[in-house]
């Protein structure tokens, strides 16, 4: 991030671990750190229907009402997907860039169940969802892949 100046877009950090990055970014920028409702240190209202779309709308409202200038959205995990939705659906010029970390998380968005293609695959997706929630089943492949010999093999094949 060397060479960035204050006349560039404002960084809006949308992830819980952002606190370590604020001092460095704040040397050149006005930085906003957003906790999505129900995540991190934010309120967790009972009965609130959390969804990617709701979080994206909250981020967009924040940009409109507080930031009021072009911003670079930086998100991790669920925050990255919410930022991506904001950038894709925004007709405004407030999103000038994206930094997405661990963006694949949250991809099983329950809000898209009405799509006919998803409806066809829904039983299979529910089965995979069930399997991944079983500790022994879900952890086995990851335990296999994270072994030293596996990484040595992969790096030999790549080179």
**Rounded Cα–Cα distance for residues 99 and 86 (Å):** 13
Q: Which two tokens stand for residue 110?
A: 């329950």
C-alpha of 14 from chain center: 8
**Rounded Cα–Cα distance for residues 63 and 89 (Å):** 14
**Residues whose CB falls within 8 Å of the CB of residue 98, separated by 6 or more in sequence, listed in order:** 72, 73, 74, 75, 83, 84, 87
Rounded to 5 degrees, φ, ψ at 41 are -90, 5
* 129-159 residue pLDDT tens: 888 788 777 777 777 777 777 766 666 665 5
Domain ranges of the chain: 1-109, 113-159
Q: Is pLDDT above 50 for 113?
A: yes
Distances (CA, A) of 78 to 22, 39, 70: 19, 9, 22
**Angle at the Cα of 33 from the Cα atoms of 64 and 100, rounded to 5 degrees:** 90
pTM of the model: 0.60
Superfamily assignment of 1-109 in CATH? Alpha/Beta hydrolase fold, catalytic domain (3.40.50.1820)
* 76-105 residue pLDDT tens: 888 888 888 999 888 768 888 888 887 765
């Amino acid at each position: 991030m060397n060479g960035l100046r204050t006349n560039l877009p404002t960084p809006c950090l949308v992830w819980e671990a952002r606190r370590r990055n604020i001092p460095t970014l704040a040397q050149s920028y006005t930085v906003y750190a957003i906790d999505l409702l129900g995540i991190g240190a934010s309120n967790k209202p009972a009965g609130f229907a959390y969804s990617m779309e709701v979080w994206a709308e909250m981020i967009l409202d924040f940009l409109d009402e507080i930031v009021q200038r072009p911003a670079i959205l930086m998100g991790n995990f669920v925050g990255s997907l919410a930022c991506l939705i904001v950038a894709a659906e925004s007709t405004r010029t407030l999103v000038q860039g994206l930094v997405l970390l661990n963006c694949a998380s949250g991809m099983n968005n329950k809000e898209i169940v009405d799509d006919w293609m998803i409806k066809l695959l829904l039983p299979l997706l529910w089965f995979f969802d069930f399997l991944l929630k079983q500790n022994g089943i879900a952890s086995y492949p990851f335990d296999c892949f994270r072994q030293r010999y596996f990484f040595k093999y992969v790096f030999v094949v790549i080179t």
